[in-house]
Amino acid sequence: MLIYIEKQARDYPQTKKILEKFKNSQVIYINNYKNIFDKNYTNLNSKKALIVAKLNSNSVSEAPAWYGHTKNALFFKTSLNCIYDCSYCYLKWAFKNENMVVFVNYEDIKREIDEKIKMSEFDWDVWFYSSDYSDILWMDWFSWFCEEFIAFFEYLNLSPSGAKYPQGDRGIFMEIRTKSWNIKPLLDLWFVPKNTEIAFSLNPQEMIDKYEKWTSSLEARIVAINKLLDLWFKVWLRFLPLLPVKNYEKIYWDFVNELNDKIDFCRINSTFASGLLYTKKDYNKMLSKYPDLDILHMLALDNDWFYRESKKVRDNFYKMFKDLDNRCILCLEN
């Protein structure tokens, strides 16, 4: 394995743990991770590497209104790029190559999250989404994200008086979204977190086979979900992206029935459904890079200036998942 390490990141505890994990790797020290990460490679397979870096820019950014649980929420990043190869993923155009980056200055990122909360004026729960730049749970075996950040989000809600942020009735929560069956980092925790939801992205196996290369099978994800439920973890199911392929209604009704048979939805903390969704800029970039990707040609520019399925198709999808769980949140439909 090839590992690039920024010189400014070499002395961080996480860097030392990574080097201990991959003792036989080739290590190259560099001045700036962007010198590797921002390069276009003709033969990506011969160039894949892990890049260990310090994040000097902002980690936290705002999510679109009604992206998930609440009107206002935030993204934060500790890594870039994903081992998986989902055809529709915006990361396929967002980054120039497939190298993965792990930012190791976790304490700086935690301070930024803390400061963002203190400056916010939300009167409702604040949600942080951690997995929009990579599959955090899959990466945990060499990033130790769960060990570092799940406990941190427990702490954010506590103080000697019982609430670190007493103004209003806010709670501070994190979502870890994944397509992985790798729940070992969660099982290894010494507690069951109250303020972190594990959100499994689910699609019919037919869609996984065609559009979600290298991800865990639907059956493996269901097994992981049920193990966590048995241990009283908060589990969120994300039905996305719903893909309007030929015969989609039959494919997804069969999917809904399978989930209903295999998962006890009374124990699921929350559910969320979303069609395929791109900004106009993102859509044009995807189309220029992957002009033959069939699902791109099933979308059109909607009144909200997102490229997405027609309202009729979305309504068909959402009826299925409201029938499965009437609490289901519908992405950007509020």
Domains of the chain (ranges, CATH numbers): 55-83+104-272 (3.80.30.30)
CB-neighbour burial class of residue 198 (10 A; exposed 0-12, middle 13-18, buried 19+)? buried
Q: Which residue bears the tokens 């990574």?
A: 18
Chain center to CA of 93: 17
pLDDT over 90 (residue 147): yes
Could you report the per-residue pLDDT of 202-239, keeping only the tens digit for each?
999 999 999 999 999 999 999 999 999 999 999 999 99
Mean of the pLDDT values across residues 130-149? 94
Band the pLDDT of 6: cuts 50, 70, 90: very high
pLDDT over 60 (residue 96): yes
Rounded CA-CA distance 264/320 in Å is 17
Residue 49 gets the label, from left (phi > 0), alpha (psi -120 to 50) or beta, of beta
> ∠ at Cα 211 (288, 209), nearest 5°?
155
Band the pLDDT of 267: cuts 50, 70, 90: very high
Band the pLDDT of 129: cuts 50, 70, 90: very high
> ∠ at Cα 54 (197, 48), nearest 5°?
85
Q: Given this model, what pLDDT does residue 234 score?
A: 96
Rounded CA-CA distance 323/334 in Å is 18
pLDDT over 80 (residue 332): no
Rounded CA-CA distance 137/117 in Å is 24
Mean of the pLDDT values across residues 289-314? 93
Q: Three-state SS for 115?
A: helix
Q: Given this model, what pLDDT does residue 239 score?
A: 96
Mean of the pLDDT values across residues 264-269? 96
> CB within 8 A of 64, min separation 6: which ones?
332
pLDDT over 70 (residue 326): yes
Mean of the pLDDT values across residues 68-89? 88
Band the pLDDT of 254: cuts 50, 70, 90: very high
Per cent of the chain over pLDDT 90 is 75
Q: Given this model, what pLDDT does residue 215 score?
A: 97
Band the pLDDT of 334: cuts 50, 70, 90: low
Per cent of the chain over pLDDT 70 is 90
